[in-house]
Amino acid sequence: MCLAIPARVEQLQDDGNAIVDLGGVRKAVSLALVDDVAVGDYVIVHVGFALQKLDVEEAERTLALFAEMGMGQAAGMSG
**What are the CA-CA distances from residue 67 to residues 41, 56, 60, 62 (Å)?**
20, 16, 10, 9
The Cα 12–Cα 72 span in angstroms is: 24
pLDDT (tens, 9 = 90+) of the chain, 79 residues, equals 567 889 999 999 999 999 999 888 999 999 999 999 999 999 999 999 999 999 999 888 988 888 888 865 544 444 4
The Cα 10–Cα 12 span in angstroms is: 7
Fold of 5-78: SH3 type barrels. (2.30.30)
Q: Where are the domains of the chain?
A: 5-78
pTM: 0.79
